[in-house]
Amino acid sequence: MGIGDATDADRKARIASNEALFRAVNEKIENMNAAFASVVETFTVVCECGDNGCVEQIDVAVEDYERARKDPTLFIVVPGHEIPDVEDVIGRSENFVLVKKKEDGISKKIAAETDPRA
């Protein structure tokens, strides 16, 4: 099997793994900001899209970030970085789009298994 022969499941797993990696990075950023919670209302996170080359940053309110982290299948992405066959848009703000993994199995499973808060 060549590189161009990846199955749909392999592609979805790769996307979910990339998103989980960015979520883990953002959790570390959020933990550092927690010490300043009484004075910090927003902080900057990296886009949690499935593109492992994406380095775009998003300003997000602490309460919006915490709301997203309550569900391991939710990810915060830059508008336009949604992947419609893998995730559904469930919310939008000026700075970001909130996406939820589809109920297809592999993507949702990886998102839940890699949840740093679980």
Question: For residue 31, what are the CA distances in angstroms to 56, 68, 116, 117?
Answer: 20, 15, 12, 12
Q: What pLDDT does residue 3 have?
A: 47
CA distance 93 to 46: 16
Structure tokens at 108: 């949702």
Helices (H), 35-81: 62-69
Are the CB atoms for 99 and 77 separated by under 8 Å? Answer: yes
The stretches in the chain having pLDDT less than 50 are 1-4
Q: What pLDDT does residue 37 have?
A: 59
Q: What is the dihedral of CA 117, 71, 12, 79, to 10 degrees?
A: -110
